C-alpha cells in the first residue's frame, strides 16, 4: 500500500470519526450541525466556571512541589487517564462491531496491517482530541491564573490520550483472544463503564475507612499517603512535573505515549484484522435458556411485566449501568455500616447519594422499557390500550428501583428512622420524575441504542440530571434546614413543570 | 357484498405525509380469501396495511375488520388481527418459545391452548432445534419465521403480512407459504404485499394493484388478464404495464 493510499485512508477514518461524533452531538438529525457547534462553544465557555471553582486555586503552584501536591496532581491525571481508557475501550469495541466497512476493507487489495495501523491511530486521535477539547476550560483557567507554562498540560493530555488508546486496544484484543468475541463485547462494556468510576470510588472507600468522610482528598493529602509515596525524582511524578511545565518530563512522557502506541500498532495491527474478522464472522453464539416450565397464565399486563423483567435481566448495558450505580452506592453503604459503630454526622451524606442514584437508574430503566421497545409493532397491534402498556412498563421501573434500594433504606431505618423516611420519599420522587421525563420525551428506538439515549434528546437528559440533583439536594436539606428544603423542592418541581411544558408529549 | 361477508372493508381511506400516500382507497377483501396487494415502491401498500393494523391513524376513511369498526374499537379489531412486517421485530434476548409465550399472554390466550400451538408452529417452521436459543444469533430468515409464528399463535382471523418472504431461503419460503395456505383453507383471511410476483400468481385468490395510493386494478389472475386484453400474458408484464400507465397518467 502506497503512502498516498494510506494518507487517503487516514482522511477517510478522520471523516468517519468526525461524522460519528457529529451524529452523537446532533442525535443524528440533519441541519443541526451549526446548533450543535454553537451549543458546544456555549458549553465550553460555561465550563470555565466550574473549572475555575475546581482548579483555580492551583494556578499558582510552582515546582518543586511537596509530596501531597504531587499525589493530588498525579491522582487527578490518573483519573483523567482512566476516563480516557474507558472511552477508548468503548471506541475500539464500536470499531470491531459497529463499522459496516470491515467486509469492504478486508476484501480490498490492501495490506491489512497498514490499514489497521491507520485505524488504530485514528482511534488514538479521536480519544485524544475529545480529551483536549474537554481539558481546554481547565487549561485556560490555569494559564490565565498562572501563566503560559500551564500550556504543558495539553502535552500531558496528548501523552495520556495516546497511552490510553494503546492500552485500550491491547486490552480489547487480548480479551478477544481469551474470552471470545461475544463475551468481549459485554466485558468491554462493563470495563469501560466501571474503570472511570472505580478509581474515585476506591479513594472514597479508603477515605471512609480511614477518616469517616466521603472526601477522597483526605486520603490523597494525608500523612500516610505521603509516607508511602516514592521520592520526588521518581518516574511516577513525571506526569505531574510535565503538567507543571517541566519540558524534559513532558518530552519523555510524549515519547513514552508514542512508543506505546507504536508498539501496539506493530504487535496488534495484524491481529486487529483477525479479531475484526472473528467479530464479524462469529456473530453471536447460540445461548440456550433451558427453561422447561410451561407457559404461565396471567393478565396481559402481567405478560408485559414478565417480558420486561426478563429483558432487563438479560440486558448487558443495563448490567453495566447497574454495576456502576451499585459501585457508587458502595461508599454510602460503607458509611452506613460504620455509622452503626460510631454515630457520625457524615451519615447524612448517604441520602443525596441514594436519591441521585435512584433518579439516574430509573431514567435508564425507563428509557429501556418505554422507548427501547424492540417489537414496537407487536405491542402496538396487541389488543390492549396503549395506556395499559405504558402503565405496565412504569410499574416495572418502579418495582426494579424498589427492589434495589429497599435493603439500603431498611438498613438506614435502624440508624435513623426519620432519615430513612426522607430518603425513601426522595428515591420515590426522583425515580418517578425521571420516569415521567422519559415518558414525555419517548421515542421509538432499539434497545441496542441505549448507549446513545442521551443524544436523542439533550433536553430530556439535562432535565433528568437536574431533577435528580434537585431531589437529592432537597432530601439532604430536609434533614437539616426545612425552609431550604422547601425552596429546593419548589425549584426542582419548577424544573420538572418547565420540562413538561416544552416536552413533545404534552397533552 | 355487504360488510358482514367481508374480512376487511376500507372506504375512502386517506393518509397524507409530505405527499398523499393513500388516496381515498376503497378495498374489500372477502372472508377466507388470500389477497395479494402489489405495487411499486412508495405506492402506499405498507401505509395502507399499517392503518389496517392500527399502527397509523388515517386522515380520513373507515376500516372495518370482520364487521368491527377498527377506528372506533381498535382493541376488538386487534384481538382477531395479526401483523407481520418485512423487518421482523422480535426480542433478541428471548428464545422463540419465550417470545410466543409473551405474544400469547398479550392476546390473553389460555396457556393450555397456546403452548402446544406455539410448539407446533415453531416445529412446522423448522425451528424446533432452536426453541430454547435466544433470538440474538438468528439469521433474518429465522427471525422472520419467529415473527410469523408469533403472529399465528393467537389464531387470528385476519393476517396482514408486509413482504413476509423477504430474506427467506427457498425451503423457509415454502414452509411459510404452506402455513399461510393451511390458514386460508381453515377459513382465515390473508392480505399480503409482495414484490415476488410469482408468489402472488400462485397463491392469491385475488390480486390488487396499487399505485400512487389508489387501486388501479383488481381481480383474479384471469380477470386481470381479461382486463389487460391478453390471455397469455404474465402477471409481471401486466404489473409493469399497469404501473407504467399510471406513472404516465401522473
**Contact at CB, A294 and B134, closer than 8 angstroms:** no
| DSSP for residue B42 | T
**Contact at CB, A287 and B81, closer than 8 angstroms:** no
Confidence class of residue B69 from pLDDT cuts 50, 70 and 90? very high
Q: Where are the beta strands (DSSP E) in B20-128?
A: 20-30, 34-38, 60-65, 68-69, 81-84
Give the number of A-B residue pairs with CB atoms closer than 8 Å.
Answer: 111
Mutate which: A381, A384, A385, vs B, most B CBs within 10 A: A381
Does ipTM surpass 0.95 in this model? no
How far does B107 lie from chain A, in Å, by closest CA? 6
Nearest CA in chain B to A182: B137
Q: Which residues of A touch B102 (CB under 8 A)?
A: 303, 306-307
**Contact at CB, B103 and A385, closer than 8 angstroms:** no
Mutate which: A301, A382, A450, vs B, most B CBs within 10 A: A382
**Contact at CB, B89 and A375, closer than 8 angstroms:** yes
pLDDT in tens, B77-133: 999 999 998 888 899 889 999 999 999 999 999 999 999 999 999 998 889 898 888
**Mean pLDDT of the A392-406 span:** 92
Confidence class of residue A287 from pLDDT cuts 50, 70 and 90? low
Closest by CA to A321, choosing from A362, A264, A379, A375, is: A362
**Contact at CB, A290 and B98, closer than 8 angstroms:** no
**Contact at CB, B133 and A378, closer than 8 angstroms:** no
pLDDT: which is higher, A406 or A287: A406
Q: Which residues of B touch A283 (CB under 8 A)?
A: 137
How far does B148 lie from chain A, in Å, by closest CA? 11
Confidence class of residue A463 from pLDDT cuts 50, 70 and 90? confident
pLDDT in tens, B25-64: 999 999 999 999 998 888 899 999 999 999 889 999 999 9
Domain layout of chain A by residue ranges: 10-23+41-281, 300-502
Mutate which: A287, A315, A319, A377, vs B, most B CBs within 10 A: A377
Q: Which residues of A touch B91 (CB under 8 A)?
A: 307, 311, 374-375
Average pLDDT, chain B: 88
Residue A410, judged by CB atoms within 10 A of its CB (0-12, 13-18, 19+), counts as: exposed
Q: Which residues of A touch B56 (CB under 8 A)?
A: none
Give SS3 for B26.
Answer: strand
**Contact at CB, A287 and B83, closer than 8 angstroms:** no
Lowest mean pLDDT among A115-119, A122-126, B9-13, B246-250: B246-250
Q: What is the pLDDT of residue B71?
A: 92
Residue A346 · residue A331 · CB < 8 Å: no
pLDDT in tens, B147-185: 999 999 999 999 999 988 877 888 888 888 888 999 999
Closest by CA to A308, choosing from A380, A360, A366, A362, is: A366
Q: Which residues of A touch B150 (CB under 8 A)?
A: 378
Residue B135 · residue B92 · CB < 8 Å: yes
pLDDT in tens, A92-134: 877 766 656 666 777 777 777 777 788 888 888 888 888 888 8
Residue A107 · residue A260 · CB < 8 Å: no
Q: What is the pLDDT of residue B3?
A: 43
**Mean pLDDT of the A464-473 span:** 90
Q: Give the span between the Cα atoms of A401 and A315, in whole angstroms.
A: 16
pLDDT in tens, A27-66: 556 666 677 777 777 877 888 887 888 777 777 877 777 7
Q: Give the span between the Cα atoms of A388 and B238, in whole angstroms.
A: 47
Q: Give the span between the Cα atoms of B3 and B69, in whole angstroms.
A: 11
Q: Which residues of A touch B93 (CB under 8 A)?
A: 310-311, 314-315
**Mean pLDDT of the A323-327 span:** 68
Over 50: is that where the pLDDT of A191 sits?
A: yes
pLDDT in tens, A231-267: 777 788 888 888 888 888 899 999 999 999 999 888 8
Domain layout of chain B by residue ranges: 88-155
**Contact at CB, B75 and A298, closer than 8 angstroms:** no
Q: Which residues of B touch A297 (CB under 8 A)?
A: 110-111
**Contact at CB, A383 and B108, closer than 8 angstroms:** yes
Q: What is the pLDDT of residue A215?
A: 61
Q: Which helix (H) or strand (E) holds A358?
A: helix A350-366
Q: What is the pLDDT of residue B2?
A: 43
Residues composing chain B: 250
**Contact at CB, A306 and B94, closer than 8 angstroms:** no
How far does B117 lie from chain A, in Å, by closest CA? 11
Q: Which residues of B touch A296 (CB under 8 A)?
A: 101, 105, 111
Over 70: is that where the pLDDT of B220 sits?
A: yes
Amino acid at each position: 500500500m502506497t503512502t498516498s493510499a494510506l494518507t487517503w485512508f487516514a482522511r477517510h477514518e478522520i471523516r468517519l470519526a468526525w461524522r460519528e461524533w457529529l451524529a452523537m452531538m446532533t442525535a443524528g438529525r440533519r441541519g443541526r450541525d451549526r446548533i450543535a457547534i454553537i451549543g458546544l462553544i456555549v458549553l465550553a465557555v460555561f465550563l470555565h466556571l466550574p473549572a475555575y471553582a475546581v482548579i483555580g486555586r492551583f494556578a499558582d503552584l510552582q515546582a518543586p512541589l511537596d509530596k501531597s501536591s504531587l499525589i493530588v496532581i498525579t491522582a487527578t491525571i490518573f483519573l483523567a487517564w482512566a476516563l480516557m481508557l474507558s472511552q477508548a475501550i468503548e471506541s475500539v469495541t464500536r470499531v470491531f462491531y459497529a463499522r459496516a466497512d470491515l467486509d469492504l476493507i478486508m476484501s480490498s487489495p490492501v495490506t491489512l496491517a497498514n490499514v489497521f495501523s491507520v485505524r488504530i491511530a485514528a482511534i488514538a486521535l479521536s480519544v485524544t482530541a475529545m480529551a483536549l477539547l474537554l481539558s481546554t476550560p481547565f487549561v485556560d483557567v490555569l494559564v490565565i491564573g498562572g501563566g503560559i507554562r500551564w500550556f504543558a498540560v495539553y502535552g500531558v493530555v496528548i501523552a495520556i490520550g495516546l497511552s490510553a488508546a494503546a492500552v485500550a486496544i491491547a486490552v480489547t484484543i487480548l480479551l478477544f483472544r481469551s474470552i471470545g468475541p461475544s463475551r468481549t463485547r459485554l466485558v468491554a462494556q462493563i470495563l469501560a463503564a466501571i474503570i472511570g468510576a472505580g478509581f474515585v470510588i476506591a479513594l472514597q472507600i479508603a477515605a471512609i475507612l480511614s477518616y469517616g468522610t466521603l472526601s477522597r482528598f483526605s486520603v490523597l493529602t494525608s500523612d500516610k499517603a505521603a509516607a508511602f509515596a516514592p521520592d520526588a525524582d521518581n518516574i511516577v511524578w513525571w506526569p505531574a512535573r510535565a503538567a507543571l511545565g517541566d519540558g524534559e518530563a513532558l518530552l519523555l512522557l510524549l515519547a513514552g505515549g508514542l512508543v506505546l502506541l507504536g508498539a501496539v500498532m506493530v504487535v496488534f495491527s495484524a491481529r486487529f484484522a483477525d479479531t475484526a474478522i472473528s467479530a464479524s464472522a462469529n456473530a453471536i453464539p447460540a445461548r440456550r435458556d433451558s427453561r422447561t416450565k410451561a407457559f404461565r397464565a396471567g393478565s396481559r399486563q402481567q405478560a408485559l411485566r414478565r417480558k420486561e423483567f426478563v429483558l432487563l435481566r438479560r440486558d448487558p448495558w443495563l448490567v453495566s449501568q447497574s454495576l456502576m450505580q451499585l459501585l457508587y452506592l458502595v461508599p454510602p453503604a460503607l458509611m452506613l455500616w460504620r455509622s452503626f459503630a460510631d454515630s457520625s454526622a457524615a451519615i447524612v451524606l448517604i441520602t443525596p447519594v441514594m436519591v441521585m442514584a435512584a433518579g439516574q437508574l430509573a431514567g435508564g430503566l425507563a428509557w429501556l422499557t418505554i422507548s427501547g421497545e424492540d417489537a414496537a409493532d407487536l405491542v402496538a397491534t396487541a389488543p390492549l390500550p396503549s395506556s395499559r402498556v405504558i402503565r405496565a412498563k412504569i410499574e416495572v421501573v418502579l418495582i426494579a428501583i424498589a427492589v434495589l434500594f429497599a435493603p439500603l433504606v431498611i438498613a438506614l431505618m435502624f440508624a435513623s428512622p426519620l432519615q430513612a423516611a426522607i430518603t425513601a420519599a426522595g428515591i420515590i420522587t426522583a425515580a418517578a420524575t425521571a420516569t415521567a421525563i422519559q415518558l414525555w420525551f419517548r421515542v421509538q428506538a432499539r434497545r441496542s441504542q441505549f448507549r446513545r439515549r442521551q443524544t436523542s434528546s439533550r433536553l430530556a437528559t439535562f432535565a433528568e440530571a437536574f431533577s435528580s440533583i434537585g431531589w437529592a439536594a432537597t432530601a439532604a436539606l430536609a434533614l437539616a434546614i426545612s425552609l431550604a428544603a422547601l425552596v429546593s423542592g419548589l425549584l426542582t418541581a419548577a424544573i420538572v413543570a418547565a420540562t413538561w411544558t416544552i416536552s413533545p408529549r404534552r397533552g | 357484498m355487504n360488510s358482514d361477508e367481508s374480512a376487511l372493508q376500507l372506504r375512502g381511506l386517506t393518509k397524507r405525509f409530505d405527499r398523499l400516500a393513500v388516496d381515498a382507497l376503497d378495498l374489500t377483501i372477502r372472508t377466507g380469501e388470500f389477497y395479494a396487494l402489489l405495487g411499486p415502491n412508495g405506492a402506499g401498500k405498507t401505509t395502507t396495511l399499517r392503518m389496517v393494523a392500527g399502527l397509523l391513524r388515517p386522515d380520513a376513511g373507515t376500516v372495518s375488520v370482520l364487521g368491527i369498526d377498527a377506528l372506533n374499537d381498535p382493541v376488538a379489531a386487534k384481538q382477531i388481527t395479526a401483523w407481520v412486517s418485512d423487518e421482523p421485530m422480535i426480542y433478541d434476548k428471548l428464545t422463540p418459545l419465550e417470545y410466543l409465550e409473551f405474544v400469547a399472554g398479550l392476546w390473553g390466550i389460555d396457556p393450555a391452548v397456546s403452548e402446544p400451538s406455539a410448539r407446533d408452529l415453531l416445529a412446522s417452521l423448522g425451528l424446533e432445534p432452536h426453541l430454547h436459543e435466544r433470538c440474538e444469533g438468528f439469521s433474518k430468515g429465522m427471525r422472520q419465521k419467529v415473527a410469523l409464528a408469533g403472529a399465528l399463535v393467537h389464531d387470528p382471523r385476519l393476517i396482514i403480512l408486509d413482504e413476509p418472504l423477504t430474506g427467506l431461503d427457498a425451503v423457509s419460503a415454502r414452509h411459510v407459504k404452506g402455513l399461510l395456505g393451511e390458514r386460508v383453507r381453515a377459513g382465515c383471511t390473508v392480505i399480503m404485499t409482495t414484490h415476488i410476483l410469482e408468489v402472488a400468481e400462485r397463491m392469491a385468490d385475488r390480486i390488487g394493484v396499487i399505485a400512487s395510493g389508489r387501486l388501479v386494478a383488481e381481480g383474479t389472475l384471469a380477470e386481470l388478464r381479461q382486463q389487460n386484453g391478453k390471455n397469455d400474458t404474465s402477471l409481471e408484464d401486466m404489473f409493469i404495464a399497469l404501473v407504467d400507465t399510471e406513472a404516465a397518467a401522473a
